Every structure is written in C-alpha cells, then in structure tokens.
Amino acid sequence: MTEITLTVNGIDKTVDAEPRRLLADMLRQEFGLSGVHIGCAHGACGCCTVHLDGTPRLSCLTFAVQCDGATITTVEAMGGALAEHPLQLAFRSEHGLQCGYCTPGFIMTLAPFVDDMVAQRRMPDDGEIREAMSGNICRCTGYHGIVAAVRKAIGAGLGKDA
Amino acid sequence: MRPASFEYHRARSLEHALELLAEFGDDGRPIAGGQSLVPMMNFRLARPAHLVDIDKLPLAGIEADGPTLRIGALTRHEDYFGHPLIAEHFPAILDAVHYIGHPTIRRNGSTGGSISHADPTAELPAVAVLYDAEIVARSASEERRIPAAEFFLSAYVTALEPGEMVVALEFPLPPQNSAGSFIELGERSGDFATASVGISIEHDGVSVVRAAMVCSGADLVPIRAPEVEALLAGQPLAAPPAAEAGSSFAASIDPANDHIASAEYRRALIAQLTQRAIVAACTRALEKS
Amino acid sequence: MKAEQPRHIGARIQRFEDIRLLSGLARYIDDIRLPDMLHATFVRADIAHARIVGVDSSALGDLGYATWMFTGEDTAGLSMKAHQDYPEMQYSEQPLLAEGRVRFVGEPVAVVLAEDAYRAEDAAEHVLVEYDPLPVVGTMQQARDPALPPLFDGWTGNVIVQRQMKGGDLEAARAQAAHVVKRTYRTQRQAGVPMECRGVVAHYNPGDRVLTVWSSTQMPHLVRTYISEELNLPESRIRVVAPDVGGGFGVKGQVYGDEVLVAWLAMKTGRPVKWIEDRREHLIASIHARDHEHTLEAYVAADGRVLGLKADITVDNGAYSTYPFTSAGEPGMVGKVLPGPYDLKAYEATFRAVATNKCPIGTYRGVARPSAVFSQERLMDDIAVELGMDPIELRLKNVVRQFPYKNVLGFTYDEGSYAQSLEQMQTLLAKDIAAAEASRGSDTTRIGVGLACFIEQTAHGTPDFTRRRVPIETGYIAARVDMSPDGEATVDLGLQNHGQGLETTMAQVAADALGIRPENVYVRHGDTLTTPYSVGTWGSRGGPLGGGAVHVAATRLADKLRAIAAHLLQAKPDQIELADGVASVRGNPGNRIEIRKLARAALRNVDRLPDGMTPGLEAHASVDGPRDGTYSNAVHAAVVEIDVQTGKMKLLRFVVVEDCGTILNPLVVDGQVRGGVVQGIGSAMFEHFIYDAECQPLTTNFADYLMPLAPEIPDIEVHHIETPTPLTPLGAKGLGEGGAIGPAAAIANAVASALQVGVESTPLNANALWALSRHIRERAEA
C-alpha cells in the first residue's frame, strides 16, 4: 500500500492505494464518484475520461499511485447535480445522449475542446468536432446530437446562437 | 480485466530511474503515459513486477542541437503539432503524428513509450526508421545510440536490454532542399494502420537527389525500401516513377495474411500508398521551390 | 372515454432523465455496493470444444485470503433451457457452469469469489482446468455435415431445427416467370455491444426470505420468472431491479445463466455477490447475432413484377439456445419477413438453425431483419440489373399500395406509406444519382447511391408468439398510474428504460390524459417490486404498447377525476375538460377546479366524493400488441465514395424517410433512428466477430471489434411521414429498431451501384471493397 493525496473536485483526501488500483476504481470506490464509467478497461472507448491536472486522461489507463499530489476533476464537478455546465445543457437540448453511460466521458473530453475553440474565437467545422471526439465511442446516438451539442456550446461561448 | 500486482516506484531523477531499472532487470518496466503498457497489463498480457514511474522526469522537449533534432522520450505526441522545427524539417513526421490514435492518446502518450512498445504499424517507429534516427538508450552504466533500423527487431520486440530505457530520439536534420510525406490507411480514424508509407527526399528544385522510404505493414517492423530509394534518385520531381516504384516495392515484400487483411490486399495497398506518398513528397518539393 | 386534445404528445420536450445521466448521478449496475459483498470472476473455457478432465483449485488455499470456488458439479442440474415447442427441434441446455464438456470459448467453467474484485481475478488464475480436446464444428457447412459428431449427446447431426413456411403457388410463379434470379447473400457475426457491459448483484435476506437481484437487463420480470422456476423460489419473494442500464440493443433482452448463478451464489454463501462482466467477456460470451446465409430465387415477370420467391435460410446459432427467443428465433424471423413491402403472391422459405462451437446467437436490434433486408434489397437491385430497370422503379412496381393488405403468409399489414416514401427518397437523391452516374467512367473514384425499402413488424402481440410457440409466450405491456393528494402523478411502467427516453415520453402521454404537465409525472420502471408484470423493453414495443398502456390507465384515472369534478362543479362528466392542471366545464371555463384539489378529495377529503364512489386514484392497464403487430416502414439511402485503388470508402450522405405512425416526441424519435442507423453502418462496414479454424475468437477487444467512431459518420438526415395505425391506442408504431435494419442493404446497394458489381456479403471494409473493385483496376490496366 502506498499513501497518496489527491485533490478531487476541489477536496483533498489522503488514501492508501494498492499500486495496481486503477484511478477509475479509486475515484469510484474511495471518492464515491460513480460518474466515472469503465467501458472497456483498455483505453479504447473514452468512457472513463477525467481531467488530470486540467487535461483529459483515461482513468482506466492510469494507476492512482501515479496521481499523488495531482488535481483531478470528474463530471460531478462540471455542472453540479443539475448538470448546468453549458456543454451539459447543450447535450440535453440537442439530444446528445441516450443511455448516458458514455456521456461523462464525452463531457470531460469535449469541454476543454469547447473552451479552446471559444478562446480561439472560432467555430470549428464538423470534421474537427468529430475528430475531437474520435477517442470516445457512443453506441446510442450515432454522434449526431453530440456534434450538434458541441456546436451549440461553442456558439454560446462565442456569444451567438449556433 | 484488472492488472496483476506490482510494486510502484516513482523515480526522483533519471539516475534514480536507471538505478531502479538496473536493480529490477527483466522484472522492471518504466511507465510514462501508460497508453500502450497499461492496456497490456489490464489484459494481464504484461505483468511487470516493478513499475518505475518516469512520467514527471524532465525528459520532454524538441530542440535542435547542431545538425541534430533531439526529441526527449517524454515528449507527448501532441507536442509535435505546431512545432516549428518539425514543421520545417520533418514533414513526414508531422503527417504521421496526425494519424496517431485520438486526442486523449496524443496528449498523454509519450515518444519513448511508442518507440519502446514497437507496435508493427505505429507511426513514430516508422518515421524514426525513415529519417535514420538514433534511439538514445540509457542504463545505469552506459548510454547507447542505436540506429532505428537496428532497434526494432520484431513485433513488440526491440534492442533494449533489461535495465535500459529510451531517453530520446535524435534525428539528423535533413538538408535545406528536402521534402517528405507520410500516408497511412486504417479501417477507422485513429486505428493502427493496415499499412503506411513515408517518403523523404532531397532535391535540387527539379529532380530528386536522394530519397528514403519506409513502409509499415509489409513486415513485423517498419522497413526501408532501398530499391525504391535508388530508383527515385535523379528522377524529375514533376514526373517521378511513382507507380513503378510502388509495384516494384510491392513485388519485393511478403506481408502477413490474417483476419485483418489478405496478403494480396496489403501488397496492393502498399503499392498504392507508395505511389501516393512519392507524388505527395515531390509535389511538396515543387511547391516549396 | 374520449381522450383530451394532445398538448404534450408530439412535442419536442427535452428529456427529464438527462439531468441524472449528465451530472454523474445515475446509478448503473456497478454502482450497486452492499456491505460484505463478494466479487465473482468466471473461469472460462479457453478451448472451443473439449471434455473437462478435471478442475484443480488446490492453489487457492495458498493465496492467504478467503476465496470461494464452484464448478458445474456444485450447480449440477441448473441450466438455461430455451425450448421452442417444435417437435423436430433438437434441444440443448446450457448448464450455469459447464458440466463435463465445454462448447465455446468463453463458456463459464467455474466461478471464484473473493472480497475484492482484483483478488477474485487473481484467484481465478489459480484455478486450472484440464481439457481433452474434441474436434470443432466451426462453420455452417461443417454443421450440416452429418459425418461430424453432434455437439450434444443424443442429437442427430448439428442441425438444430429445419422448417418451412409457404403461401401461394410457387410452381405457377416459376412457370410464368420471364427471369429467374438466384443469389446467395451472407451477413457476418456481430453484436449490439452496449457501452456498459452486463453485470449482476444479488442479496438474499433469510429473515423475510426475499432474494433481491440487480441486473443490467431489459427484462426484469422475465429474469424474476426464470430465477423462480430454476431455483424453485416463490416469485413473490424475488425482487429484480434493473438500475440505470447503459444500453441494451437486445443483448440485455435475454435471461442469462449468470443472472441465475449470482442469485444462487448469494444464497449459497450467505453474502451479497457481485459480478461485473469485463469487455473481453462481453465480446466472447454475451450473445452474438446476424450470422446468416440466405439463398434466394426470385421468379420475375418481364415487366419487373416479382411473382414468386423461394428462400433457403441458414443461421449459425453457435453452441446453445438462448432464452426466451431460442435458436429458432433468428432463422424463423427471416422466413417470416422476407416478403417485405412487396406484393408477392407465391413464397416458400426453408429455414434452419445449426449448432457450432461459437458464442450463442441471440437478439440484436432488428433481430434477423437487418440480414433479411440485406438479402431482400440486394436481390431487388440484382433483379433491376438483370432486367435493366431503375431500382426505384422496380420497387415502385412491386410495393404494396392497398391497405390493409394480407400478405402471402397471411399476415395483415396496416396502413403504411411504402410508395410515398420511395417517391420522396427519389426526389431527395436526384443530385446524388446524377453524380454517381457521372463517376461511372472513373478508374479511381466511384460514387454510388443505394437504397433499402423495408417494413418492420413491431409491437408483436401475444398471438404472434403463440404461433411461434416460443418461451416468451406473451407480448403485452402493463402500466399503473396513480395520483397522490398533491396532484402529482406516478407511472409504474412494465417497460425498462435504457436510453429510449421513456421517463419523458411516458410522462408526456400521461400528462395529456390527466390534464397536467409532464414535469408533474414521475415515471418509475425496472423494478419488479413497484411495476406491473410485463415482458420488458424490446421488439419496438415501448411507444405503441407501453405508451398505449399508460394512455389507457391514465385515461381511466382521468375518468374518475372527471367524475369527481362533475360532482363538485355540478356538471356532467362528459362536460369536463382536464388541461393545464385544471378541470373546467366545457363552454363555461369560469366553472373550474384545480386537479390537485380533485386528488385531495379522492384521497383525503373523501367526504367531498360523490355518493358511493370509492376513495383512491389508481388505475392499471395492459395493452397487448395486435395479432400481426403494426408495420412501420422506411426507406434508407446511402451515398458512398470509393477509392478504387485502396478500397477506402467514405459515406457522403445517409438519408432516412420513415413512418412510425404517431410521433410521441420528435427529439427521441430522431435520436432512435439516427442511433440505429449508425449501428447499421457498423454492421455494413466494420463490425465482425471472427473465429479461426479452431473456433478461437480473434476479435476480443475494441482494437479488433471495430464500432463506428464519429469521424467515419456523416450527419444522418431524417424525414418523417406520419401514418397513425388504428391498431394501437395512440396510433404509434414501433421505431426503436428500424434505424438498424436498413443500412447494410442501403450501403451494399450503394457499393454495387458505384462499382457496378454484385455484392453478396458484409462487412464492406477496405479489403472487401478493394476486392470488389478488381474489375475496374483491370480494365484501367488493359
């Protein structure tokens, strides 16, 4: 066992971690963050994406012990219990989710992309939007609503209705 | 699908990492982004007894050192994008990096990790072979520079010795009048390639002076194509014998026949990619001239 | 009693369940955690066909932590039995844990439990199984070879069942035909592959003798019934809960042996037990689908009228029959649906299921129809080529135009828009058809346009299952609606929601009937403790039957509200309108009372009720499907661009014109169609479970089993025609599966049109397309 301290969704916590414990399991079991979903456990579906020190990371390919001292954000901290992050609101209005299992991973992958585009003051084309989500598999929506949601969230950030 | 037990060691410095790796020998593996290693561990196809975490060591960076471009082992794939030295001197690398996985993989996956994993159709091993890179490997006792062409021994097998790790890649800077391209085809975006071809040429504005070609998917490791390279030398940029190069190279290889693709298809695909990569490189050369 | 004017049905309302799913507050099976819980890991067969010589678990004792291990000897006699009542069918049972013999790679041989999931996986590695290999039956051809030994003792050969269905005079059709077009078509083994794997948690409370089972299932009541019968427990003491379910697509519309086994383990160990399937297990041992070969022979008149069709259908069923749709389900469905939207007067189908040493076959969105429509619609294009006709004109010549229509097998089609949807598609594709024709001379890049015209029998009623003598037995859906004293309504629904938006659409339906807002309706589902017995969510029955049941139950409740209102407002019940939370007298809107006050009168101030009226506000309804179901129809079209030299295909456009009757919520309908289409694109282009000659699976992870990713997929254009059916309470037909049915046919037809070549099989990956382009390259070289 190795003692590690993680700052998760703004709260510091010290836990004992078996080295092999995946960050995904640690977040789910020790931090009660059930929004972290495991879809494949081999880095091929994106369901488990969280932010590690501010950037998207596959928590099924990361050992918790590697994250000692790191800051982690999960979907629970994005828009709260009412899911009020602009990208979450856009997912809802554009029907960017059905069963919801892949959804937290998409939100965590795409929120920085939306921020980046807004910072660059530009609306990406569909190809760029689809490439940005190319590491995430959604089996329900056919991606259509997710693409529309990203466009809408960027449009909102740019201050116009997309 | 959870890994077998191991002991975890966070390296405080490169020297510390190398000491640990020397101590563990075959039982130790360095880990950085974990994008290749951890899937293997979760399937329990890899079960190192010791992981040495080098992720935070100062081994990232792309910089010119005289006639050499040095890329640190912990340089992430996405760091290649927009880097002026890559864009200016290594167009085939820039092309190749676009094909690597997906945004999250490119952000977290490391250069050293991809080189050490040695997937037969991974992009960085291919461009390392194309540009005659040297793999800088360090152990507690020595530093070796291994030519890329001698580094990849078979699928997932490299010349690294127990206790050794990749610390950098060193690419000789091509001369001023150079151009290149890299083309691959996979079933979906981000998949490992069915096959890929990279071309690098030196030219005089009119003709090819010297050419290099690499192909993945023809064999268990990326291979060079000396006949094509010889054929292209002296040929006009405006009308290189690309189709001939493609078919002659395809006739010389013996690709795998498996559930992903037939050998016949791989051979034809490689001929086509060779042709297209040559045309793309020559077109770029003319555009730049 | 007459329904209120729809206010919420048909509205594009954002889904209520989204907030829970987006915020991370949803609870899926792996989020169920109980004190003292044990974690189960299976030891699975790594050889496709063998006798089990022995299981050595002696190493478990040296691990230094507690483990439990069980084999087929411990569970002897417990099995999955999925018998269709056909006298000639060869029955198989799959033991919960293999007994003496394994028949596919991935079959559970032993189960190991520990207090931590990582340790359970470690421990399972210490259980060594010794096998004595047997020769494998690996292909349909081998399965039909009587010289090969049968997979089960007592069987004769490996044909599980072979039957015929027919109608009309096929000999006459053959005699009249100017053309006979015979082709063999093949679709590949694939599966639904939801993003959440399956999983089961069970807990037995000896105090009240209640067994609680949580399972990621589409059919909690059927899981309860099966566990009750197999473990001999009263069904009243079993509670099955489907929590949030991360996609189903039919894969979770089966009862699995592990659901029974985990329940058994919880009772056996006295501890709660959890099993979460991993992705490799899912890909090798949860059900597969669509492994079909069809040989069709069409008898066609000179003018293009298809006079008769003869079909020979084989399905590679894998090793075992699955519950409740059985190994006869897939081939029988093909036989039943092949006549399709066409006015066919003579038909004969021979269909069979064969057993091989592969993962068992079961349901996947569309259930056999993606394969059937692939063959039916490839055949129409092949006929068009043979006759030199335009493929759309050929279809327009053959589609059914008069409704109701009794087809060659005696099934009655309700009103549809077959010709209209074809004509609409023809207009939508005009430019693409021109572009495709212009590309015909190219040796490098070809464009193709292909379409699939199909119908889908949805919302099957009990008679359809009775005719098939299949263990599902029935097809009704039930709902209970009640109102509490504050005027808030609860719908307890026999359906289970795993992405279909039922928590929203069913609230819309109830709200319209009750005259309240959808926000004031709480839809509960998936828990046998609170919901009325039903068969679950599958077979495109949620909207038509679930919606129907909610509508009927809510209308009954509304009738009581109207009666109370009439009493309090001194009017007649049929003068009362319920809308916007208020009951008012028609023509005298000032005479009104809030619905919540009616609810309070019904439940608390019962002295205000009319004389003789029973207190309470609760209604139950069940709605069965029509005898022959209700038929949705659609035309799908694909526009593709193919690189003739590399075989790389780009989907330029995918267009749907569909008719599912009354639309409950367009947001949800469009989402269902688009999601289904992209699964169908996966079927057409990428997804394939491949086995080697020894029946070892080669596609056991997401780097090998390739599902569509966003960059490969275009926007999916959806156009609606709304032809309500008289056969369901709201006029809705089923639409959950249709999206997945057409794409393989449409894309294959687009490829055939682009390359001017016959296309006989999927998946149409780069290697396949390169092979199909050979003649173009050879022509260019010549």
* Neighboring chain B residues of A59 at a CB cutoff of 8 Å: none
Query: CA-CA-CA-CA torsion for B149, B154, B159, B160, nearest 10 degrees?
Result: 130
β-strands B28-31, B50-53: how paired?
Answer: parallel
Residue range C580-607: mean pLDDT, rounded: 97
Interval A110-118 mean pLDDT: 98
H/E stretch holding C453 reads strand C445-458
pTM for the model stands at 0.97
Q: What is the 3-state secondary structure (H, E, C) of C750-781?
A: HHHHHHCCCCCECCCCHHHHHHHCHHHHHHHH
User: For position C6, what pLDDT does the model report?
Assistant: 72
Count of residues making up chain B: 289
Q: What is the DSSP string of C733-751?
A: ---TTHHHHSHHHHHHHHH
Of B1, B103, B108, the CB nearest to A132: B103
- CATH code at position C422: 3.30.365.10
Please report residues of B whose CB lies closer than 8 A to that of A2.
8
Neighbours of chain B (3+ CB pairs under 8 A): A, C
Q: Which of A147, A140, A129 is nearest to A101 (CA)?
A: A140
Is residue A162 very low, low, confident or very high in pLDDT (cuts 50, 70, 90)?
very low
Among the partner residues C121, C698, C706, nearest to B2 by beta-carbon distance: C121
Task: Flag if B51 and A134 touch (Cβ within 8 Å).
Answer: no
Q: Are residues C130 and C255 in the same domain?
A: yes
CB contact at 8 A, C237 and C244 = no
State whether residue A113 sits within 8 Å of chain B by CB: yes
Give the one of A28, A76, A99 whose C-beta lies nearest to C245's C-beta. A99
Residue C64 maps to a domain: yes
The CATH topology of domain B7-52 is 3.30.43
Q: Which domain holds residue C684?
A: 288-462+627-781
A8 within 8 A of A74, measured Cβ to Cβ? yes
User: Do C235 and C225 form a contact (C-beta atoms < 8 A)?
Assistant: yes
ipTM above 0.90, yes or no: yes
Chains in touch with A (≥3 Cβ pairs < 8 A)? B, C
C557 in a structural domain? yes
Question: Taking residues B23-36, what's their average pLDDT?
Answer: 96
Do residues C517 and C603 both lie within one domain?
Answer: yes
Chains that touch C (3 or more CB pairs under 8 A): A, B
Cβ atoms of residues A145 and A97 within 8 Å: yes
When divided into structural domains, chain C yields a total of 3
Give the amino acid at C623.
V
Q: Is residue C662 included in any domain, yes or no? A: yes
Instruction: Please report residues of A whose CB lies closer than 8 A to that of C15.
Output: 92, 95
For residue C477, is pLDDT > 80?
A: yes
- pLDDT over 80 at B161, yes or no: yes
Question: Reading across the β-sheet that carries A49-52, which strands appear in turn?
Answer: A11-17, A2-8, A71-73, A49-52, A55-58
For B40-54, how does the pLDDT look when each residue is reduced to its tens digit (9 = 90+)? 999 999 999 999 999
Structure-token match 């029509």, residue found: C626
C52 in Cβ contact with C101 (< 8 Å): yes
Whether the pLDDT of residue A72 is over 60: the answer is: yes
In angstroms, rounded to a whole number, what is the distance separating the alpha carbons of residues C688 and B272? 26
Residue C108 lies in a domain: yes
Examine the pLDDT at C565 and tell me if it is beyond 90. Answer: yes
From the list A74, A101, A107, the residue facing C247 with the nearest CB is A101
One domain, residues C327 and C437: yes
Q: Among C243, C276, C309, identify where a domain stops.
A: C276
Same domain, C247 and C333: no
pLDDT band at C5 (very low <50, low <70, confident <90, very high): low
Q: In terms of domains, do C428 and C531 share one?
A: no
Is C402 within the bounds of a domain?
yes
Write down all domains in chain A, each with its CATH number in brackets.
2-77 (3.10.20.30), 80-158 (1.10.150.120)
Q: Assess whether pLDDT exceeds 60 at residue C209.
A: yes
Confidence bin at C408 (pLDDT 50/70/90): very high
CATH of B62-172, one of 3.30.460.80, 3.10.20.30, 3.30.465.10, 1.10.357.10: 3.30.465.10
Residue B5, min C-alpha distance to chain C (Å): 9
Nearest residue of chain A to residue C32 (CA atoms): A34
Mean pLDDT for the stretch of residues C32-47: 98
- Selected residue of A66, A68, A108, A129 to mutate for chain B interface (largest B Cβ count, 10 A): A66
Dihedral angle sign, alpha carbons of residues C358, C361, C364, C369: positive
pLDDT at C1 over 80: no
Percent of chain C residues topping a pLDDT of 70: 99
Chain C residue at shortest CA distance from B192? C703
Question: What is the share, in percent, of chain C residues with pLDDT greater than 90?
Answer: 96
- Tell me the pLDDT tens digit for each residue of B72-112: 999 999 999 989 999 999 999 999 999 999 999 999 999 99
Supply the pLDDT for residue A160. Answer: 63
Please check whether residue C61 lies inside any domain of the structure: yes
Q: Which of C396, C9, C383 is nearest to C180 (CA)?
A: C383
Q: Are residues C706 and C751 in the same domain?
A: yes
CATH code for residues B178-288 = 3.30.390.50
Per-residue pLDDT tens digits for B122-149 = 999 999 999 999 999 999 999 999 999 9
Residue C116 has pLDDT above 90, yes or no: yes
Domain-wise residue ranges, chain B: 7-52, 62-172, 178-288
C603 and C679 both lie in a single domain: no
Residue listed under structure tokens 């795998």: B256
Tell me the average pLDDT of chain C.
97
A64 touches chain B (CB under 8 A): no
Residue C158 lies in a domain: no
Task: Tell whether the model's pLDDT for residue A161 goes beyond 80.
Answer: no
Per-residue pLDDT at C521 exceeds 80: yes
- The answer on C663 and C593 residing in a single domain is no
Look at C767 and B44 and tell me if their CB atoms are within 8 Å.
no
Order of all β-strands in the sheet with C292-300: C159-167, C346-354, C306-316, C292-300, C179-187
Percent of chain A residues topping a pLDDT of 90: 97
* A39 chain-C contacts, CB cut-off 8 A: 195-197, 279
Q: Tell me whether B273 touches chain C (CB under 8 Å).
A: yes
- Residue C112 CA to residue C95 CA, distance in Å, equals 17
Cβ–Cβ below 8 Å for C28 and A34: yes
Mean pLDDT, rounded, of chain B: 97
When pLDDT is cut at 50, 70 and 90, the band that residue B260 belongs to is: confident
Quick one: which H or E segment has residue B14?
A: helix B14-24
Closest among C662, C666, C718 to C421, alpha carbons compared: C718
- Do C559 and C447 sit in the same domain of this protein? no
- pLDDT band, very low/low/confident/very high, at C3 (cuts 50, 70, 90): very low
* Whether residues C502 and C451 fall in one domain: no
| B187, B261, B265: residue with CB nearest C706 | B187
User: Do C122 and C205 have their domain in common?
Assistant: yes
Residue in chain C nearest B4 by alpha carbon: C122
**Domain edge (last residue) among C276, C297, C325:** C276
Structural domain ending residue among the three candidates C567, C592, C623: C623
| Residue range C144-163: mean pLDDT, rounded | 96
Provide, as residue numbers in chain C, all residues whose Cβ is less than 8 Å from the Cβ of A91: 18, 22
pLDDT tens-digit series, residues C416-459: 999 999 999 999 999 999 999 999 999 999 999 999 999 999 99
The answer to whether residue C192 is domain-embedded is no
Report the residue from A20, A44, A107 with minimal CB separation from C118: A20
Instruction: Note whether C257 and C384 are same-domain residues.
Output: no
Q: Which one of A42, A68, A131 has the shortest CB-CB distance to B39? A: A42
Does the CB of B176 have a partner CB in chain C at under 8 Å? Answer: no
Q: Which residue has the tokens 């003491």?
A: C237
